[in-house]
Amino acid sequence: MAVIELYNHPVLLRYRASICTKGTIFIIIVFLLTIIPPFFLAYRSEGFWIREAFYREQPDVHFKHQILLVLYLNEGNSYIAWSTYPNFNLIEQNHLTIPVVKTREEDINRDGRNDKLYFSVEVPIPDSKNVQSVDMILVFDYRLYRFSTFHMESLAYIHHTSFASGAQFIAEGDLKLHLKQPLAHKGTDSRYNVPVVDSDSVFAADYTFSTIFNNYISRNATTSFVCDYPIWKTGRGAGQPFVIQGSVGYTEELIMYVPGFWQTIKMGWIQYLAVLIIFIFIMEKVKKFVFENQIITTIIERPIPTKNHVM
Amino acid sequence: MLATFNLIHGAKYFKMDSLLRDAKIGRVVLIAIFLACIPRDIFTFAQTTDVTLTGGTSEPSQSPPLSGATTNVRATSGAASSSLSPTAAQTTEATPTESTQLEFNTDLGPCICDLTANGCDVNCCCDEDCSDDDRATFSECLDQNYLVDTNVCLQSSVVFRNNSPDVVQVSDPSLFCVSRDNYVDRNYYTIPDSVQTAEEFEALSTTYASYSFEALVTTNASYEYADFYKSGDPMYTIYETLSLGVLGLPQSSISSECEDSNPAAFLFDETSSCIRTVSDLASQCGMLPSLSASTYMDGFKLVSTPKFLQENPPPEPRLVNVTTESPQSTTQSTSQVTQNSTTSNTTQEPNTSPTGGTIPDENVLYYDDPRLISMETLQPLCQILFGVEAECEFPADSVPFPTYNETEESCDNVVLKVKYSITHNATDGIMAASVQVTLGSITSSQLPLAQTFEVSFEKVDAPEDTFRRSGSPGYVIGEPLLAGTRVELEDGTKLAISLRDDRNNWLTVVKSSSDGTCLTDADSRIPVVFGMDMRTGCIVEVSFSEISDICELIQEQILTALKGPLPDDYYVAMFGDSSVEVVGDWVQVLQEEVSGTPTSSVKGTCNNMVTGVHIEVIYANVGSLQNPQPKILGVKYNYADGKILSYQCSGPFCQDTSRSFTQRFEITSSVTFIDASTQPAAVIAERPSWESKLPNDFLYPFTGTST
């Protein structure tokens, strides 16, 4: 008559020893070897503590309606300058020409954040003069919310130089964020919410492009106007203004930030655990081998008396 | 076998026989295994990094230490070299009708750098015409232009050339590289048959061809005429020469220069401005057709509907002698004309009416067809001053050509503006067309000449009182704000809004001239358009001597520039289509009183001067969230706080001799649109009660709701 297995259960063997024996020391060493090497292994294979992470966010940008404009003309060193800063206009009153500026910010997808700035600057220019170069600064208010509340004043530098006398300059581009260091994961960061152009100054040096850019570029977070397709149209008719027009897109940005404590711990723990399981498995085999074969002598405590044991 | 090769990394060039002498003992064992494994005709192989190049080349007599890792050692196996050039032998022996039979699975180019027949090619080590002395002068060997298969451990194609130089580069074989390839066909192209028929060619071409520079087939099927014009279609014209064209609307494209071949689009009102370059006004004044009015109005007719061309294909362009041909010989004349048609097109001969013939010419009949609409010439306008136009003295049917005025050095009767007005009746096409030109005199200082072209369309039975709205109902971005004064109607019982005819003159801001001064006349102002934030301004010049005396006068001048012709009770429409008769739909422009009056306490200063106005327009979106309609809630003129205009002396301008120097003060005028839309408040429904089909106390320990 065939015998079938009806039920099974493991038998728990207990190996006992007093504290100051080789067995106890062995178990302590094995325990330490189980938990410590996985940490080193996980750490040495790089990327254990995540130092930076990325997220995407569309910035909340508002054009501050501040413009600084310089047009270089073909006659000698003559130029035309204009800005929305009264002190600068007073300094440059001999070169001042007041343009017609039209701007419009549009929230195309109506999600509450502006998506694009359209601008058009028409500069009346005498027929005898011709424009060879455009330098223009637009000032923006730039905010990010998702991790740290980041707030700064930034600029877009729109410029073009051509050998041919221009009638129109068309620049369609995007405002791009440049981070030299990651942002924090929480808190408020308004380190750079300082004016790009010091409009209170009465000194000409504070309005030069070199001063403005020198101060601006020393920041860790800046924006720039990226326009890969500038168009310079030639042939300005008599009595017609020089026109600068285009758009500045506020696109979604990939932003680098320093992850917070719990995010770092969580990622580290996952990596540690993955290696630890392998070590536990190996060390269990080692312990079983050592104790089963009584390489280190211990007292074996069997759960069931031998006499009752039925084979 | 060769898989052991994988263990060697960072290979260097090395020569075998010298290696055996110099390499370490451990290496020699490894190499011995190699030598047992690799075929006989391998001369070279790769070696580890710790054996340097110079260490390996210790016998200069047999293998000179060349930095380019080439030697002049050649294979002496004649069998292998002859097997490498069977195709060449066949090619020379083949008769012209037979083609070369290519061998399967054979490398056909054993020496691809051997380009000079019967001569030695420089740096071509495998060239059999080169002597050993020639090879000694070579700085490198060019004959190994193989694509290196990085999957293979040992590049056999390089190694098994028995007349190749005795070096090989093994580029760091990876762990899983192919050591032995037992499927040889994989490494050789199949040999396709040459194409004999056009069908075969087509089949191959369609299977394998990709994009090319073949000229694109444009979908502009101008030779197929539709039944009627659709909006956006170009309108056909027939010239007196009976050549076919389209009504042009010159437009600027790459530069601001006019492109005359740009067609006007049916039913689309358009205005374009572009420039004409005139290099020498005196000589070109009467010569350039682009300056002459007749270019834009005479010598062509509009085709009322393309169906006309469908039914009556235009006859061949007529020549002068065609009129004498008899109708019976039409086919013959057509063929003659076809030969000469190119010349007739280019000569641009004026209308050649049949002078001698009594038989009416069918081409003249064609041109006189009533379905060809001739341009009605309206009374031309003449520009008297810049921006001021009046009707010219000469009649409409004799518009003069441009002529050069020697005394004033100007070119008179130059076209400044062309305005086409076309009356249509939907699918019936064009019913009438008229053109009005604006002429003027230009001097050489006004070059390049800017011309404006305008085309407008009107339905044939359109009511007189059509009015272009600024929105329906909400304002459209870029459209001017409707604004006017409130008047009492004639019967005195009802109020209404009076709008100016010129829609660009409703609500305006100041504009600067090219020298910066304020343009004060009403026509030179810039309209406030919906949605556009604006900033304009101009410059007021005052001199030191007069500044403190005429403060009030300056202030008045500034306010005139800022306000323009703005009456005190000015009304702005809430919607882009607000009716002028419903006064309740219009909001009054709020105007701040200009605070204080200008005073002068110190010489050279004016206190309390208002130098700017800021117009705020508050609007809100109404209607559906998907289709928001902006509605203007209010408009306010904010005058800037009184400033001190002081004549600032700095630099050389304060010297007594330059007392007359004027200082320039900027006057600003700005517009901002404020969106005051309130988002719809979300009303959240009450949370639904949980209707349980189970007994109430079924989950008693968790819910705690027992009966």
Average of per-residue pLDDT across B683-691: 75
Closest of A168, A260, A175 to residue A221, by C-alpha: A175
Q: Are B533 and A125 in contact (CB < 8 Å)?
A: no
Closest of B318, B517, B522, B281 to residue B408, by C-alpha: B281
How many CB atoms sit inside 10 A of residue A44's CB? 8
**Is residue B574 pLDDT above 80, yes or no?**
yes
How many CB atoms sit inside 10 A of residue B581's CB? 11
DSSP β-bridge partners for residue A129: none
Distance separating alpha carbons of residues B559 and B578, to the nearest angstrom: 30
Residue B101 token pair: 């039979």
Who among A94, A124, A237 is closest to B514 (CB)?
A124
DSSP state string for B30-63: HHHHHHHHS-TT-----B-TTS-HHHH---TTTS
Please check whether residue B450 touches A, CB under 8 A. Answer: yes
Closest of B450, B452, B420, B413 to residue B436, by C-alpha: B420
Pairing label, strands B586-591, B570-573: antiparallel
DSSP β-bridge partners for residue A49: none
Closest of A75, A73, A74, A95 to residue A83, by C-alpha: A95
Who among B256, B526, B537 is closest to A237 (CB)?
B256
Q: Are B514 and A125 in contact (CB < 8 Å)?
A: yes
Instruction: Please report the pLDDT score of residue B350 as a whole number.
Output: 43
pLDDT in tens, B618-648: 999 998 888 889 999 999 998 887 777 776 6
Q: Are A93 and B537 in contact (CB < 8 Å)?
A: no
Pairing label, strands A131-144, A60-73: antiparallel
- Which of B535, B540, B646 to probe the A interface (max A CBs under 10 A)? B535
Phi/psi class of residue B409: alpha, beta or left (left: φ > 0; alpha: ψ in -120 to 50)? left
Half-sphere exposure of B292 (CA within 13 A, CB side): 16
Angle between helices A22-44 and A261-292 (to 10 degrees): 140
SS3 A84: coil
- CB burial string B261-276: b at 16+ within 10 A, e below: ebbbbbbeeeebbbbb
Q: Are A237 and B535 in contact (CB < 8 Å)?
A: no
DSSP β-bridge partners for residue B605: B646
Q: Are A98 and B538 in contact (CB < 8 Å)?
A: yes
**Is residue B483 pLDDT above 80, yes or no?**
yes
Residue B527 token pair: 């309209």
DSSP β-bridge partners for residue A81: A70, A96
Who among B255, B512, B513 is closest to A235 (CB)?
B255
pLDDT in tens, B348-396: 444 444 444 444 566 677 888 888 888 888 888 888 776 678 888 888 7
DSSP β-bridge partners for residue A56: A254
Considering Cα of A24, then A28, then A34, then A37, what sign does the dihedral take?
A: negative
Pairing label, strands B612-622, B662-675: parallel
Average of per-residue pLDDT across B491-518: 83
Q: Chain A partners of B450 at a C-beta cutoff of 8 Å?
A: 237-240
Complex ipTM: 0.82
Residue found under tokens 């009046």 = B390
pLDDT in tens, B8-35: 333 333 333 333 344 344 444 444 444 4
Closest of B448, B465, B704, B486 to residue B582, by C-alpha: B486
pLDDT in tens, A102-132: 999 998 888 888 999 999 999 998 888 889 9
Who among B447, B531, B663 is closest to A238 (CB)?
B447
- Nearest residue in chain A measured CA to CA from B669: A100
Lowest mean pLDDT among A261-270, B94-103, B156-165: B156-165
SS3 A55: strand
Q: Chain B partners of A101 at a C-beta cutoff of 8 Å?
A: 534-536
Question: Rounded to a whole number, what is the distance in Å from the CA of B482 to chain A's nearest CA?
Answer: 19
Distance separating alpha carbons of residues B336 and B353, to the nearest angstrom: 19
Closest of A64, A102, A134 to residue B536, by C-alpha: A102
Instruction: Please report the pLDDT score of residue B690 as a whole number.
Output: 67
Q: Chain A partners of B477 at a C-beta cutoff of 8 Å?
A: 104
Please check whether residue B622 touches A, CB under 8 A. Answer: no
Who among B275, B512, B663 is closest to A93 (CB)?
B663
Q: Chain A partners of B648 at a C-beta cutoff of 8 Å?
A: 90
Longest Cα separation, chain A: 120
Q: Are A93 and B254 in contact (CB < 8 Å)?
A: no
pLDDT band at B305 (very low <50, low <70, confident <90, very high): confident
Q: Chain A partners of B663 at a C-beta cutoff of 8 Å?
A: 93
Q: Which residues contact B529 (CB under 8 A, 6 or more apart)?
A: A102, B477, B478, B479, B480, B481
Q: Are A235 and B273 in contact (CB < 8 Å)?
A: no
Closest of A160, A176, A221, A230 to residue A196, by C-alpha: A221
How many CB atoms sit inside 10 A of residue B598's CB? 22
Distance separating alpha carbons of residues B644 and B600, to the nearest angstrom: 9
Query: Could you give the angle at the alpha carbon of B475 between the alpha carbons of B470 and B478, nearest 5°?
Result: 70
Q: Are B60 and B71 in contact (CB under 8 A)?
A: no
Instruction: Please report the pLDDT score of residue B4 as a whole number.
Output: 36
Q: Chain B partners of A94 at a C-beta cutoff of 8 Å?
A: 664
Question: Rounded to a whole number, what is the distance in Å from the CA of A107 to chain B's nearest CA?
Answer: 12
- Nearest residue in chain A measured CA to CA from B516: A97
Average of per-residue pLDDT across B61-78: 36
Distance separating alpha carbons of residues A84 and A81, to the nearest angstrom: 11
DSSP state string for B627-664: S-EEEEEEEEEEEPPPEEEE----GGGGSGGGTTPEEE
Residue A82 token pair: 């204009």
Average of per-residue pLDDT across B276-289: 86
**Is residue B56 pLDDT above 60, yes or no?**
no
Q: Are B534 and A100 in contact (CB < 8 Å)?
A: yes
Distance separating alpha carbons of residues A286 and A274, to the nearest angstrom: 19
- Nearest residue in chain B measured CA to CA from A63: B533
Size of interface A-B (CB pairs under 8 A): 108
Cβ within 8 Å of A, B 644-663:
648, 663
How many CB atoms sit inside 10 A of residue B35's CB? 13
pLDDT band at B172 (very low <50, low <70, confident <90, very high): low
Distance separating alpha carbons of residues B235 and B431, to the nearest angstrom: 13
pLDDT in tens, A5-47: 999 988 888 898 998 899 999 999 999 999 999 999 999 988 8
Mean pLDDT, chain B, whole residue set = 73
Lowest mean pLDDT among A245-254, B45-54, B499-508, B603-612: B45-54
Distance separating alpha carbons of residues B645 and B601, to the nearest angstrom: 12
- Nearest residue in chain A measured CA to CA from B258: A235
pLDDT in tens, A152-209: 999 999 999 998 888 999 999 999 999 999 999 889 999 999 999 998 988 989 999 9
- Which of A71, A88, A91, A102 to probe the B interface (max B CBs under 10 A)? A102
Give the total residue count for chain A. 311
End-to-end CA distance of chain A: 17
Instruction: Please report the pLDDT score of residue B9 as a whole number.
Output: 39
* C-alpha distances out from residue B481 to A190, B334, B586, B618, B634, Å: 39, 60, 11, 12, 12
Q: Are B386 and A239 in contact (CB < 8 Å)?
A: yes
Q: What is the Cα B539 distance to its own chain's centre? A: 37
Closest of B481, B647, B655 to residue B578, by C-alpha: B481
- Nearest residue in chain B measured CA to CA from A66: B535
DSSP β-bridge partners for residue B245: B237
Q: Which residues contact B96 (CB under 8 A, 6 or more apart)?
A: none
Please check whether residue A124 touches B, CB under 8 A. Answer: yes
Cβ within 8 Å of B, A 129-168:
167-168
Please check whether residue A292 touches B, CB under 8 A. Answer: no
Amino acid at B449: L
Please check whether residue B494 touches A, CB under 8 A. Answer: no
Who among A96, A167, A237 is closest to B666 (CB)?
A96
Residue B641 token pair: 């706080």
Amino acid at A6: L
Q: Are B536 and A100 in contact (CB < 8 Å)?
A: yes
pLDDT in tens, B208-229: 988 888 887 766 555 678 888 8
Please check whether residue A182 touches B, CB under 8 A. Answer: no
SS3 A170: strand
Distance separating alpha carbons of residues B356 and B587, to the nearest angstrom: 73
Residue found under tokens 């019936």 = B428
Pairing label, strands B629-639, B612-622: antiparallel
Q: Are A98 and B666 in contact (CB < 8 Å)?
A: yes
Distance separating alpha carbons of residues B439 and B392, to the nearest angstrom: 8
Who among A89, A104, A124 is closest to B531 (CB)?
A104
Q: Which residues contact A182 (CB under 8 A, 6 or more apart)?
A: A52, A256, A257, A258
Please check whether residue B531 touches A, CB under 8 A. Answer: yes
- Which of B512, B517, B534 to probe the A interface (max A CBs under 10 A)? B512
